[in-house]
Structure 1
Amino acid sequence: MPKLTIDGREIDVEPGTTILQAADRLGIEIPRFCYHERLAIAGNCRMCLVEVEKMPKPVASCAMPAAEGMVVTTNSPTVRAARRGVMEFLLVNHPLDCPICDQGGECDLQDEAMAYGADRGRCDEPKRAQPEVDYGPLIATHMTRCIHCTRCIRFAAEIAGTPVLGGLGRGGHLEITRDLGATLSSELSGNLIDLCPVGALTSKPAAFRYRSWELRRTDSIDAMDGLGAAIRIDSRGNEVVRVLPRINDDVNEEWLGDRSRFACDGLSRQRLDRPYVRKDGKLVAASWPEALGAVAARLRGLPGERIAALAGDQADAEAMFALKQLLAALGSSHLDCRQDGAALDPTVRAAYLFNSGLAGIAEADALLLIGCNPRTEAPVLNARLRQSWLTRGIPVAAIGPRTDLTYECDWLGDRPATLAEIAAGRHPFAQVLTQAARPALILGQGALARPDGAAILALARRIAETTGMVGEGWNGFNLLHTAAARVGGLDLGFVPGPGGRDRAAILAGAASGAIEALFLLGADELAMPAPDTAFVIYLGSHGDAGAHRADVILPAAAYTEKDATYVNTEGRVQRTRRAVFPPGEAREDWRIIRALSETLGHTLPYDDLGGLRAALAAEVPTFARLGERPVAAWAPFALDAGAPSDLPLTSAVGCYYQTDPISRVSPTMAACVAAFGAAHSHHEAGCHD
């Protein structure tokens, strides 16, 4: 390992480590604009110049590998003069936009100019102007501010896999622009805003709405999909104005999908902020005692076998646990958290987890996708898969929708019969999986949310077992969930008990009259019971399908408005933090259920969130292991599931930008659908026969 000296301090580094990376490990600050640790090295801003002994001039530390015996100085008079010169050149054409620039207050160029720049410039020629480029409804461009760091170009090409950005011209005529006629339609495009070190790329929906120092910051977890990305919620007053990613190498690295980032403007629209009770066929506003009393009056004397509950995709674990206990007290075992009807086996934890882990999937050396489109179901995960393909060239095959995944993929058709061939070892890709050291598959919800979902799950298990995906220190059987609530619901047993009805049977019972009262815990993505059949009690945050059908509406908090527990697709227990208060009279879901239990005469045995969480952890110990990803034991599941049909396998996500009540009322997401189309990424490029 090379040993070098930086500012008089010695350090041993791995071969290939650059001087800048070595200095970062020592805590020595070297300014940079073009360098980013997750992107390829460009070495074109020259701000990171340092002096190296026996070299005739300063060198770019981001592109210079460390060598044995190297002596580096990062703050000599020569280095300081070089940095002042570089900064002066960067500011030659930079406009004086700081007072009106949305990047003001969190701009790298401002910070570096203060620390390393001079107090005046020597160029008195007119500044160069550059026309703006239309990047779509999410990113506002001010290309006159661009300093040509090329971070945006490298991210689009390397991480997002949509190489539509590039440079035109040379020297002083260089312009960063998009391909002629191309659209910046990546599901990860918002990360360009974070990467841009100046105000050239800013958020278009938030233009001129706030200053960074006005915002209150809350660390939380994303609940818009099943990944559970680490996020930072920025709020002003009682309004969420911005969602940004936080670094979590185990889950989302430092990236975030566009829906999770930009749909936050839907949090304040079409909100349920007071209880409602249906009278004479119309929903009318009511007080909390009146609404809870209406539920109690309807349920009083009703046998438990005529009461049921369904949980939606963003329901938190505390609310599901409380509702499960309430239904048990009422004598009902009819409950289900699988509102899409997915044939998930709740008896074996390894049967419904992403067992390799989101970070661990990078170790796979052969991959089979079954009934899923990671690009729209989990864009951040898809970026990981692309990196594995770019760096190690792993073979990827797909059975299901034919889409552009941003990496090469052998399309094996969309029929379940191909799964049977691979499980029996008769398909060529079965040999690829068998010969791999760490093969893996990713099974999507689109393959399970169908009448023969159990048969598809059984075939996937057979493939995992016959190709060596499950072994000592490796489990390549992965389920990709699209719902933040799903794994938590399965963990705590929000599924039918002995003799209980599942989602399909509950809805059928509601239609026939066998189910007379139905709780919907934020459940909107299902066929609602017809009017004048079951009595529907809806707990949710937005006026979506469930609220329109409800007989009683109990307004609840969104994921940004409560301290709540979620379990992501890999089984990692995580918690959101309340950034703002719920609007009006809305309350946290578990508090509503606790108040309702008291009204019904079956008071739940806890009065605060701590007591509820203690009861939850006592019943399901997994919930006491916050932030961990416990390894689930492999066991047989989905036995005697029958044979699959010949229906084609599809993805669970049709329109990436509108998948839940929040994104469906978001003006920004509606603008994305208008600009890019509902299924913009469903190309045939990238998947070949």
Structure 2
Amino acid sequence: MPKLTIDGREIEVEAGTTIIQAADLLGIEIPRFCYHERLAIAGNCRMCLVEVEKMPKPAASCAMPVGEGMVVKTNTPAVRKARQGVMEFLLLNHPLDCPICDQGGECDLQDQAMAYGSDKNRCKEGKRAVPDKDYGPLVQTMMTRCIQCTRCVRFISEIAGTPVLGGLGRGEHLEIGRYVGAAVSSELSGNLIDLCPVGALTNKPASYTYRSWELKKTESIDAMDALGSAIRVDTRGNEVIRILPRVAEDVNEEWLSDRSRFACDGLKRQRLDKPYVRKDGKLVPATWNEAFVAIAAKVKAAGTKIAAIAGDQADAETMVAYKDLLAALGSQAIDCRQDGAKLDASVRASYLFNSTAAGIEEADALLIIGSNPRKENPVLNARIRKRWQKGGFKVARIGHKGDLTYKYEHLGDDASILKAIAEGSHPFFEVLKNAKKPALILGQGALSRADGAVILGLARKLADAAGLVKDGWNGFNVLHTAAARVGGLDLGFVPGQGWRDVDHIVDGAHKGDVQVVFLVGADEVDMKALGEAFVVYQGSHGDAGAHRADVILPGAAYTEKSATFVNLEGRAQQTRLAVFPPGEAKEDWRIVRALSEVLGKALPYDSLKAVRERLAKASPVFAAIGSVTPAAWGAAFGAEGSLGDGALVSNIDNFYQTDPISRASKTMAECTAAFGGGCNHKHKKTGTHG
């Protein structure tokens, strides 16, 4: 390991480390525009010039590997003069529109111009102007501001895996643009905005609506998919203006999917802001007490013929409150698997992404079963691509053929292929068997089939036969698409022995065996099949469940409450209240607590602290916030039986509209129109439309 000296401070680093990386380790700031620690080195902005002893001219520290005994100076008159010259060239054609630029106040070029800029320009030629490019409904372009750092080109090619951007022309005529006819349709395209060091790429849906210093910043957790990405919610007043990613190396690194980032405009549309009760066939506004009294009358008449279905964004506090309430009323007809996935809540290892998001980078063979990671979880898919780029990583897929942004072997789309691999009669079995850290990813599309339990059992059989679970490694992974799912399974929000799962709840409601159904943000069930049942919908948006409801209880969205979610790895995380719920809407667990009192079954907690103590008693997972609680491997799960017909397909056909918030979003509707993805929303089981 070479030792070097930077500004009189000695440091020892690994071979291959660059000067700028070594300086960062010492806390010495070197300005940069093109360099980014997660992208390939370009070395084209020259802002990071430093003086290296015995070298005749300044060196670009981002592209210069360290050497033994190297002496580096980062703040000499020569270095400062070199950086001032670079800044003069960068500002040569840059427009003087900082007062109207959305990047103003958080612009790298502004910051460095304060340190290295001049009060005059020696260039007498006029500034050049570059036509703006159409990057779609998410990314606003102002290409005259572009300084050709090529961060966007490298990200879209290396990380996103959709190489549609490049440099056209040379010298002063160089422009960054799209390839002919190509659309910037990556599910990660919003990260281009974060990477751009100037105002060339900005947030199109929110353009010219805010100044960065006006916004209140709240650190929270994303609930738009099951990864639980670390986010920052930026608000002004009681409105969410934008959502940005935070650095969380073990979860999302520093990336965020476009739906999680841009669907925030759906938080203010189609909101439920007051209780409603259906009278004479119409939903009419009501007081909270009127709503509770209407529910109490029906619950009393129904006895134990009541059920609850939790939706994809239900928080753990709400689910445990509903579980306790229904238990007090004598019913165990509860389910958090609204898509009918045949997951086994009794064996935790059977429903976790056991290798963890970061751990998938250690795998050397991967089998994807009935899943499209690119649509179901783009940030996790970028991890898989990152591993694939390193080489020595064999990927195969059972399911529909499509672009996952990395090469894989398409084995077919029939479930019988999985059976052949599990029994060792398929060639890919040997690939898994011979790998040091083999893994599989089982999608919800496979598990929500009628034979989902059989597929789960075959996946378990394969894991044992091929050695997917060994000392220090568990390659058995279930890819969830719902933020609430793992938390619900950890809580046991599933029917008790002999009680009804979601399919039987719907069927029982249709037949009259279930008389009251609580939909806790559940909009993906077949509403028409609920028959004459009395439906109570508790949620934040006027989606399918609210249209069917007999009583509506307005709840809070994930940005409007302090709530607990468990991500697909089994990591318990908590959101923070960024804005207050609109109108008379309340935090969801508080609604359940108030309802329980009217029903004469008052729950034994009336504060958030008390609810979380109840969560910790229900499962130790909720006592370890922020850390992964691994699951023991050993207990049997799944079922034996015959496989059904039909192809294994993903349960998401339109990435941009998968839940009530994104279906209410104008931006996501524009993305659907621009990039496709089928109808606005079609659940493959029920055929309901949003």
Q: Could you say which TM-score interval applies, normalised by the shorter chain?
A: over 0.9
Asked if structure 1 preserves the Cα contact closer than 8 Å seen for 2:510 and 2:530, the reply is: no
| AA at the equivalent of 1:624 | A
CA distance in 1, matches of 2:33, 2:286: 56
Once the two structures are TM-superposed, the CA of residue 322 in structure 1 deviates from its matched residue by: 0.2
Summarize the alignment of residues 212-227 of structure 1 with structure 2, pairs less than 5 Å apart. Answer: 212-227=212-227
Report the equivalent of 2:74.
Answer: 74
Report the equivalent of 2:510.
Answer: 511
Report the equivalent of 2:413.
Answer: 414
Summarize the alignment of residues 247-262 of structure 1 with structure 2, pairs less than 5 Å apart. Answer: 247-262=247-262
Question: The residue matched to 2:547 in structure 1 has which SS?
Answer: helix
Report the equivalent of 2:100.
Answer: 100
Report the equivalent of 1:483.
Answer: 482
Report the equivalent of 1:401.
Answer: 400
CA distance in 1, matches of 2:50, 2:482: 49
TM-score using structure 2 length:
0.98
Question: The residue matched to 1:543 in structure 2 has which SS?
Answer: coil
Summarize the alignment of residues 517-556 of structure 1 with structure 2, pairs less than 5 Å apart. Answer: 517-530=516-529, 533-556=532-555
Question: The residue matched to 1:300 in structure 2 has which SS?
Answer: helix
Summarize the alignment of residues 450-461 of structure 1 with structure 2, pairs less than 5 Å apart. Answer: 450-461=449-460
| AA at the equivalent of 2:416 | A
User: In 2 relative to 1, CA 532–345 (structure 1 residues): closer, same or farther, beyond 3 Å?
Assistant: closer
Asked if structure 1 preserves the Cα contact closer than 8 Å seen for 2:456 and 2:638, the reply is: no
Q: Residue deviations 1:132-156, cap 9 Å, x none?
A: 1110110111110000000000001
Asked if structure 1 preserves the Cα contact closer than 8 Å seen for 2:512 and 2:531, the reply is: no
Q: Residue deviations 1:534-579, cap 9 Å, x none?
A: 0001100000000000000000000000000000000000000000
Residue 559 (str. 1) matches residue 524 (str. 2): no
Question: The residue matched to 2:527 in structure 1 has which SS?
Answer: coil
CA distance in 2, matches of 1:652, 1:532: 25
Question: The residue matched to 1:113 in structure 2 has which SS?
Answer: helix
Cα RMSD (Å): 1.0
User: In 2 relative to 1, CA 390–639 (structure 1 residues): closer, same or farther, beyond 3 Å?
Assistant: closer
Report the equivalent of 1:376.
Answer: 375
Residue 612 (str. 1) matches residue 611 (str. 2): yes
Report the equivalent of 1:166.
Answer: 166
Summarize the alignment of residues 463-474 of structure 1 with structure 2, pairs less than 5 Å apart. Answer: 463-474=462-473
Report the equivalent of 1:659.
Answer: 658
User: In 2 relative to 1, CA 139–624 (structure 1 residues): closer, same or farther, beyond 3 Å?
Assistant: same
Residue 134 (str. 1) matches residue 131 (str. 2): no
Question: The residue matched to 1:533 in structure 2 has which SS?
Answer: coil
Once the two structures are TM-superposed, the CA of residue 531 in structure 1 deviates from its matched residue by: 7.0
How much identity, in percent, do the aligned residues show? 70
Question: The residue matched to 2:235 in structure 1 has which SS?
Answer: strand
Summarize the alignment of residues 619-658 of structure 1 with structure 2, pairs less than 5 Å apart. Answer: 619-658=618-657
CA distance in 2, matches of 1:312, 1:51: 59
Asked if structure 1 preserves the Cα contact closer than 8 Å seen for 2:355 and 2:475, the reply is: yes
CA distance in 1, matches of 2:458, 2:288: 49
Once the two structures are TM-superposed, the CA of residue 232 in structure 1 deviates from its matched residue by: 0.3
TM-score using structure 1 length:
0.98
| AA at the equivalent of 1:277 | V
Report the equivalent of 1:441.
Answer: 440
Once the two structures are TM-superposed, the CA of residue 530 in structure 1 deviates from its matched residue by: 4.7
Report the equivalent of 1:390.
Answer: 389
CA distance in 2, matches of 1:336, 1:531: 15
Report the equivalent of 2:200.
Answer: 200
Question: The residue matched to 1:392 in structure 2 has which SS?
Answer: coil
Residue 43 (str. 1) matches residue 47 (str. 2): no
Report the more deviating stretch, 584-593 or 630-639: 630-639
Q: Residue deviations 1:215-251, cap 9 Å, x none?
A: 0000000000000000000000000010000000000
CA distance in 2, matches of 1:224, 1:278: 30
CA distance in 1, matches of 2:239, 2:639: 51
Once the two structures are TM-superposed, the CA of residue 117 in structure 1 deviates from its matched residue by: 2.0
Once the two structures are TM-superposed, the CA of residue 528 in structure 1 deviates from its matched residue by: 1.1
Q: Which runs of 5+ in 1 are unaligned?
A: 681-689
Q: Residue deviations 1:33-85, cap 9 Å, x none?
A: 00000000000000000000000000000000000000000000000000000
| AA at the equivalent of 1:246 | R
Q: Residue deviations 1:609-629, cap 9 Å, x none?
A: 001111111221110000110
| AA at the equivalent of 1:263 | A
Summarize the alignment of residues 11-26 of structure 1 with structure 2, pairs less than 5 Å apart. Answer: 11-26=11-26
Report the equivalent of 2:686.
Answer: none
CA distance in 1, matches of 2:671, 2:335: 33
Report the equivalent of 1:267.
Answer: 267
Question: The residue matched to 1:459 in structure 2 has which SS?
Answer: helix
Asked if structure 2 preserves the Cα contact closer than 8 Å seen for 1:333 and 1:499, the reply is: no
CA distance in 2, matches of 1:38, 1:615: 41
Residue 314 (str. 1) matches residue 313 (str. 2): yes
Q: Residue deviations 1:159-211, cap 9 Å, x none?
A: 00000100111101101100010000000000000000000001110110000
Q: Residue deviations 1:330-356, cap 9 Å, x none?
A: 000100000000000111000000000
CA distance in 2, matches of 1:18, 1:405: 32
Residue 180 (str. 1) matches residue 180 (str. 2): yes
Report the equivalent of 2:344.
Answer: 345
| AA at the equivalent of 2:100 | I
Residue 334 (str. 1) matches residue 328 (str. 2): no
CA distance in 1, matches of 2:475, 2:469: 6
Residue 278 (str. 1) matches residue 278 (str. 2): yes
Asked if structure 2 preserves the Cα contact closer than 8 Å seen for 1:346 and 1:352, the reply is: yes
Q: Residue deviations 1:269-305, cap 9 Å, x none?
A: 000000000001100000011111111111124321x
Asked if structure 2 preserves the Cα contact closer than 8 Å seen for 1:507 and 1:529, the reply is: no
Report the equivalent of 2:684.
Answer: none
Report the equivalent of 1:27.
Answer: 27
| AA at the equivalent of 1:21 | Q
CA distance in 2, matches of 1:646, 1:536: 34
Question: The residue matched to 1:267 in structure 2 has which SS?
Answer: helix
Q: Residue deviations 1:13-46, cap 9 Å, x none?
A: 0000000000000000000000000000000000
Once the two structures are TM-superposed, the CA of residue 529 in structure 1 deviates from its matched residue by: 4.4
CA distance in 1, matches of 2:676, 2:645: 29
CA distance in 2, matches of 1:375, 1:130: 33
CA distance in 2, matches of 1:418, 1:322: 42
| AA at the equivalent of 1:73 | K
Report the equivalent of 2:293.
Answer: 293
CA distance in 1, matches of 2:58, 2:531: 80
Question: The residue matched to 2:148 in structure 1 has which SS?
Answer: coil
Report the equivalent of 1:83.
Answer: 83
Report the equivalent of 2:687.
Answer: none
